[in-house]
Structure 1
Amino acid sequence: MIEKLLPPSVAVAETYGDPPHAPFLHGELEVVSGAVEGRRREFAAVRWCARRALADLGIGPAAILPGERGSPVWPDGVVGSMTHCDGYRGAAVGQVPGVLALGIDAEPHLPLPEGVLNITALPAEQRRITDMGGLAPEICWDRLLFSMKEAVYKAWFPLTRRWLGFEQADITIGHDGTFSAHLLADDPAVPSDGFAGRWLVEEGLMVTAVAVTAQRH
């Protein structure tokens, strides 16, 4: 599903359930040794996806450990992103210099819990999604906006190594399956006009993706 949102140079793998024998590679099990069984399966499954995507780039199996602020540490010359939610795990990877950063996110197609929108969306964003809800009430625009902010952060942090708050990305959603993020934090490592992304609602899920390519940068 998420491959529909990314350029052909990006390799994607996904699953709608946890593979029963997804292996842990060196050091991965230790990261989740104290977690509940469901969390361990989720952790292994999304890395199983990532290794399948890496294989499509001709890169052999590698442990994918969390680094600074939990951002995945990829093999040299690789950028990537992973996501998981109930009923979905996915990963996308690309190679430098063609692909500079990736951010993907998946969410259940359900409204956000009460109060979350107010702490994650700017007033202008709230007004825009209220208007969009009047035109297409079948879409949970609040959750979609949240997903886009997650995807934007996942693309931003590996480029800048800096935190980006929810209030520092002003997102405009297009009805055509695109979105743009005006970044309210400057950094020379990111495009001056912000990030462009794409979104899709399908099979009870919503997925969002940002790809920063050499041409885009």
Structure 2
Amino acid sequence: MFTTHATFLLAGQTVHHITFNPSTFSDADLLWLPHYHQLAEAGRKRKADHLAGRIAAFHALNGQTVPGIGNNGEPLWPTGITGSISHSGTQAVAICRQNGLTGIDCESIIAEKESREIQDGAIHPQEAQLLTQSGLPFDLAFTLTFSAKESLFKALFPQVQAWMGFDSARITALNADTLTLTLTRPLPPFAQNQPFTLHWCRLDAMVVTLICDE
């Protein structure tokens, strides 16, 4: 599969960015993965997305290893490392650090018409009001909210070890660089109303959100 690798900084952290061409993917490409056999039944798109994400993670780990797949589909990082992977369309990103909460997500910006159509089932009315008042275009603000919750839940999962719906956290602040999510219920060991700050950036028609709390 044809890929290109680049890096960029977000919140002072190096994010590894892979652009890939899914049409150039072949099953033989998966043999690069130590766990390729676990993807034998996956569809072509899933295989290409997974491979791109693991290539990004391989770069993030300085070429030392490729994260495996956990029982819940999560990446298995080396001991002492926290990391996160995401992919959307023809893009994939990955980051890893020595410690702390780490979660990253990339999403293609959802068109405003679609954002408006699905907002009632995706966000609370208070969130919708905040997004409207943020000064950002609604499609961008809505996509950021969706993405940020994905990033947060990836970061919390290693400790929570439970599924978290989008109503588990609510956006309570949003500006040109950061946003805040607040838990709406306890997610032990994290308390109800605990806030988390995430950083974000826009890459063309995509947004990237990142939590990197200590």
Partner residue in 2 for 1:72:
75
Would you say 1:49 and 2:56 are equivalent positions? yes
Q: Confirm or deny: 8 A CA contact 2:159 2:189 kept in the other structure.
A: yes
Q: 1:61 aligns with which of 55, 60, 65?
A: 65
Change (3 A) 1:24 1:185: farther
Q: Structure 2: where are the runs of 5+ without partners? A: 1-5
Describe the SS at the equivalent of 1:75. coil
Partner residue in 1 for 2:39:
32
Question: After superposition, where does 1:1-217 map in structure 2 within 5 Å?
Answer: 3-8=8-13, 11-18=14-21, 24-27=32-35, 29-55=36-62, 60-62=64-66, 64-95=67-98, 99-111=99-111, 112=114, 115-132=117-134, 135-137=135-137, 139-187=139-187, 189-190=189-190, 193-213=194-214
- What is the identity, as a one-letter code, of the residue corresponding to 2:203? E
Partner residue in 1 for 2:3:
none
- Distance in 2 between the 1:114 and 1:170 partners? 18
Q: Confirm or deny: 8 A CA contact 2:18 2:55 kept in the other structure.
A: no
- Distance in 2 between the 1:30 and 1:93 partners? 25
- Distance in 2 between the 1:137 and 1:89 partners? 24
Deviations, residues 154-187 of structure 1 (Å, cap 9, x unaligned): 1111122122221110113422310111112224
RMSD: 2.6
Change (3 A) 1:60 1:52: same
Question: Per-residue deviation at 1:100?
Answer: 1.8
Q: Confirm or deny: 8 A CA contact 2:131 2:138 kept in the other structure.
A: no
Q: Which has the higher strand share?
A: 2
Question: Per-residue deviation at 1:60?
Answer: 1.7
- Distance in 2 between the 1:92 and 1:170 partners? 24
Q: Structure 1: where are the runs of 5+ without partners? A: none
- Distance in 1 between the 2:117 and 2:38 partners? 31
- Distance in 2 between the 1:138 and 1:125 partners? 11
Describe the SS at the equivalent of 2:157. helix
- Distance in 1 between the 2:7 and 2:175 partners? 18
Q: Confirm or deny: 8 A CA contact 1:101 1:158 kept in the other structure.
A: no
Describe the SS at the equivalent of 2:40. coil
Counting aligned pairs with the same residue, the percent is 25
- Distance in 1 between the 2:7 and 2:189 partners? 25
- What is the identity, as a one-letter code, of the residue corresponding to 2:12? P
Describe the SS at the equivalent of 2:68. coil
Q: Which runs of 4+ in 1 moved over 4 A?
A: 18-23, 112-115
Q: Confirm or deny: 8 A CA contact 2:102 2:210 kept in the other structure.
A: yes
Describe the SS at the equivalent of 2:34. coil
Question: Per-residue deviation at 1:53?
Answer: 0.5
User: Under a length normalisation based on structure 1, what TM-score does the superposition of the two structures give?
Assistant: 0.80
* Structure with larger RCO (C-alpha < 8 A, sep 6+): 1
Question: Per-residue deviation at 1:203?
Answer: 1.3
- Distance in 2 between the 1:113 and 1:124 partners? 16
Deviations, residues 107-165 of structure 1 (Å, cap 9, x unaligned): 11232466432222122101111223xx3337522122111111111111112212222
